[in-house]
Structure 1
Amino acid sequence: MVILIGNQKGGAGKSTITLLLANYLCEAHKRKVTVLDMDYQQSVSSKFEKAKILENEAPYEVIPADLKHFPILLKVLTKNPEETVLIDLPGKMDDDGLIAVILSGDLILCPFNYDEFSVDSTLLFAMVASKINNRAPIVFIPNRIKSTVRYHTRNDVDKVLAKFGTVSAGIPDRIDFQRVDTLHIPAILLPVVLPLLDHIYANYIDRKELK
């Protein structure tokens, strides 16, 4: 299964969601996971290398990947039907090489923030992704939700995004998320993220494989 994590806007939380999901799949479901880090910032790769320097045993592989190498990487990784490939997409949609990546997705996760610029970027990403790949469900994940966000603002945004996919439960804005690495999810964050991750697994990952 190939899961894309993307948004047109940098800083939406793609890398954090990638790490949370990778750790969750390995720890909670003993899945074979490989992460392709295609983001220009390569945050996931940096954390992976840092963990290796500290001589920790990696629960999954993280591969910094260039768009031009994607076809062969995908071919190799998906030979194993039990492999779950998570792809942290670039923060921009300005490269035709992304078409093959988006087409490969079985599920698209799109973290976003409740601010005007983020919502506009999220809508642009959703329109492009759904036009290229209309078989993969899109799940929008409200991320870094601030306590100052008004209910009617959230409600209005969710209604617009619901035209392209499903809006999941959100993740509050907490400094603890800076502690998420390629080894584990800090225990203090588990009550916050498990409902979201359990929902994604039960409704999209496990359900697809049962078909």
Structure 2
Amino acid sequence: MVNKTLIILFFTAFTLSKFNALAQSTTIYLVRHAEKLTVNPAERDPNLSDKGFQRAADLAKVLQKKKINTIYSTNYKRTLATAMPLATYLQLAPVIYNVKDPSTIAIKASQDNKGKTALIVGHSNTLIPVIKALNCSVPFEGLTDDDYDMLFKVVIDENGKANLTVTNYGEVHHTTDSKNKKVMTAPIMN
């Protein structure tokens, strides 16, 4: 009798935990890499500048309590260095994604982190396409080379409806107007 009760309790707890995970929202934070070295314009893969390393540390402070489950980064020094302070704090290895395929990383991050939280570190020319692939409207069409302090937060509810909030973190460093923008969109159809 005790074994049967334990089996029923275990099955009920397991079923409720699966149902709870499906009913929770998924959060995906997105940031452009921090400030990069610009001493050699021909350098295709520069590291971060001193300001960039400080911004990466600021990002870790902002996100360290957000229960990040997975960190995605392109395979460039500047994106990996931006992710590294948070990855080190959380003891996570960044997952490398293809910079040329924004829709694939959007789908992967949203599907692999259902009910959880993830971070995607990208570039000025890739973040907006990734956000659009998450079915969010954006308050502007692109980022400039001087936009470094924006933190994009996409929350996908249990019905697949995605909401975007744009805030800033660290030292102010942007030219695109992003101050506390919130955009709501229709459900994601993956």
The TM-score by the shorter chain falls in which range? 0.3 to 0.5
* Larger Rg computed on CA atoms: 2
Give the helix-richer structure, 1 or 2. 1
Structure with the larger RCO, 1 or 2 (CA within 8 Å, 6+ apart):
1
Give the strand-richer structure, 1 or 2. 2
**What TM-score results when the alignment is normalised by the length of structure 2?**
0.42
